[in-house]
């Protein structure tokens, strides 16, 4: 009879097994969530790379742009602006 009692788990052992299985389940769910987030992140990185390539090929890139120099005002244009009252230096 003593052997039969040892083969059946006690309530304490059962609760430990339930805790460990719930911890394993939680870890499994967390792992699935992380894998899904990594997959989404990889997709977003690929999309960002495609957009960067499209911008550089489409002429929307910052590279190679020369800033426009301000046009020098002629004396006649200055006189006209002063006469209209548009003095905003």
**pLDDT tens profile 8-57:** 767 777 666 777 788 889 999 999 999 999 999 999 999 999 988 887 78
Task: Decide: 63 and 56 in contact? Cβ < 8 Å.
Answer: yes
Q: Is the pLDDT of residue 1 over 60?
A: no
Question: Who wins on pLDDT, 86 or 48?
Answer: 48
- Is the pTM here over 0.75, yes or no? no
54 falls within a domain: yes
80 falls within a domain: no
Which single residue is written with the structure tokens 């090929």? 57
Half-sphere exposure of 79 (CA within 13 A, CB side): 3
Q: How confident is the model at residue 64 (pLDDT cuts 50, 70, 90)?
A: low
51 falls within a domain: yes
Domain residues for 23? 11-61
Q: Is the pLDDT of residue 63 over 90?
A: no
Residues 57, 51: Cα–Cα separation, whole Å:
10
5 falls within a domain: no
Number of domains in the chain: 1
């Amino acid at each position: 009879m003593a052997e039969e009692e040892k083969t059946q788990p006690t309530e304490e052992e059962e609760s430990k097994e339930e805790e460990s299985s719930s911890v394993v389940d939680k870890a499994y769910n967390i792992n699935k969530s992380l894998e899904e987030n990594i997959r989404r992140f990889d997709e977003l990185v690929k999309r960002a790379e495609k957009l960067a390539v499209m911008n550089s090929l489409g002429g929307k890139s910052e590279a190679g742009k020369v800033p426009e120099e301000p046009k020098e005002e002629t004396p006649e244009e200055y006189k006209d602006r002063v006469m209209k009252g548009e003095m905003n230096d």
